Amino acid sequence: MRSHSFVTFLLLALLPALSLADDGRRPVGAPFATRSVVYAPQGMAATSHPLATQIAIDILRQGGSAVDAAIAANAALGLMEPTGSGIGGDLFAIVWDPRTQSLKGLNASGRSPKSLSLEYFTSRGLERIPPRGPLPVSVPGAVDGWFQLHGRFGRLPMARLLAPSIAYARDGFPVTPVIARLWKINTEALREFPGFAETFLPGGRPPEAGERFTNPRLAATYEKIARGGRDAFYKGDIARSIAAYMKAQGGFLSYEDLASHSSEWVEPVSTRYRGYDVWELPPNGQGIVALQMLNILEGYDLRAMGSGSADYLHLLAEAKKLAFEDRARWYADPQFVSLPVARLLSKEYAAERRALIDPKRAARAYPAGDMPPGPNDTIYLTVADRDGMMVSLIQSNYRGMGSGMTPGDLGFILHDRGENFSLKAGHPNVFQPGKRPFHTIIPAFMTRDGEPVMSFGVMGGDMQPQGHVQVVVNMVDFGMDLQEAGDAPRLRHEGSSQPTDEVMTDGGYLVVENGFAPAVIDELRRRGHVVKVAEGDFGGYQAIRRTPAGWAGASESRKDGQAAGY
């Protein structure tokens, strides 16, 4: 991690068995923690950008709900962190409703163009949908997601929620370091797409850290949405501009696709893990991967193994491999296929899958589970208000800044989520017109005995369910606090089957952040794992936890973010 010194690394290497309770001798408990947990009595916001967090807090102070504050923060991130978000992408959310004492889930992901067919791809010899350009673009669902959330849980007018971002878009804001680095990386792939440079490369180059960036085009788009509501985006001039641009680029996304779009309220799904209920949204997202992994890991005494041990990390990697094979085989849009969610989340099924793990040897391949017949770059934020409402919200363009398609003078990029469709006939996730693609972005929530405990999320493509599991295990099994659970060094397994791939056959490889003991890495290699040390960080975590005195918040060091309360 950027904040880790060489001294910290040596401490972790020499002290593999750490006491994670705050012993009073450090400002924060574990040596890897980058800051203290934030506490506040009335409200809390945690986002990946300090200015977005402050906007959320301002909205809460004005009497806005947690949903109001989350929308305002998301709008700000679409401006300030275009490397991971924007209104050209999709959105998912889980809301704790204090009035009904229950969770509500929103799937605000868009569908594929109705005029595009599987035959279009196969007749051109394509085995996968290209990651950029016009072909992977599906309907952007974020704006409809805002209005669905606002209509059910909002208090302040949308114009007030968008006003701070409109002002920053016109007057400018200093670009933060992590975003500046990612902006430069994205520019290399997207520079040549029409409209991109005019909006995102002032002076012909990406802005550097500390430089002021303005986006008057996005300011004008936000103003249209503030005045005209969601129809201004999906049925007005914005929709017509998107459709005309896409047609000129050889794309298929049409005005009709936008005008017919709607989000869907869904029931979150959960599993019980050592007395806690961990909640995710059902497919077309990958949230149940995390629940499947937790079900498998529940059969082991992880606490006795220790947080940095080879035994724990080996089991974590093998559980991930097993769950990802099911992900590749079964996860898809439930409006098009019948999905065996209950079977995938059952404890009996977890026991069957757990039996395949050799505790001393890494598997080179796992099959997807048998089912009975039957019918990369993202932002995560969380907000809580004085009435007890909590919002877990995630939003993304995919692949950083998305497809590169930057329509006219609208000030944002369209996402490329359609890349995740399979082109294999008969696969549940095969491309079909009007279908939602497999999704990686997932918000999470935790309850206990019917009471809210924590809203949390971890950004980063395939890392997200792996990160969810590591956060839960860090807190429940290893006793870490809210901040430590996110700051702890992470492991990521790469190489499991993707939703468009065949079964993994080479075992993949592990990527580890600095902070794991060298002896542990050596032991993982002896068990057959290929282990690489990460060149940078992965993930990006925010969380809010309910406390007897109010709220606790955390935002880890892998992003530019901030947790703050009032």
Please state, in angstroms and as integers, the Cα–Cα distance from residue 272 to each residue in 297, 319, 394, 559, following that order. 12, 17, 23, 30
417: helix, strand or coil: helix
Q: Are 80 and 182 in contact (CB under 8 A)?
A: no
Report the greatest alpha carbon distance in the chain: 67
Element (H, E) at 3: none
Q: Are 122 and 434 in contact (CB under 8 A)?
A: no
Please state, in angstroms and as integers, the Cα–Cα distance from residue 252 to each residue in 13, 525, 552, following that order. 53, 47, 46
The angle, 0 to 180 degrees and rounded to 10, between the axes of the packed helices 66-80 and 50-61 is: 150
Q: What is the gyration radius of the CA atoms in the chain, in angstroms?
A: 22
- Residues 227, 230, 236: CA angle, nearest 5 degrees: 80
**Residue at 27: amino acid letter:** P
**Residue at 561: amino acid letter:** G
Hey, how many other C-beta atoms are within 10 angstroms of the C-beta on 424?
17
277: helix, strand or coil: strand
Q: Are 391 and 43 in contact (CB under 8 A)?
A: no
CA distance 49 to 459: 14
The pair phi, psi for residue 453, each rounded to 5°, is -115, -55
Active site residue 187: no
CB within 8 A of 406, min separation 6: which ones? 193, 194, 195, 196, 198, 199, 200, 412, 413, 414
Strand order in the sheet with 90-97: 264-266, 102-108, 90-97, 390-396, 379-384, 44-47, 562-565
Identify the active-site residue in 34, 176, 271, 378. Answer: 378
CA distance 224 to 414: 18
CB within 8 A of 520, min separation 6: which ones? 16, 308, 309, 310, 313
CB within 8 A of 10, min separation 6: which ones? none
3-state secondary structure 497-555: CCCCCCCCCCCCEEEECCCCCHHHHHHHHHCCCCEEECCCCCCCEEEEEEECCEEEEEE
Q: Which residues are catalytic?
A: 378
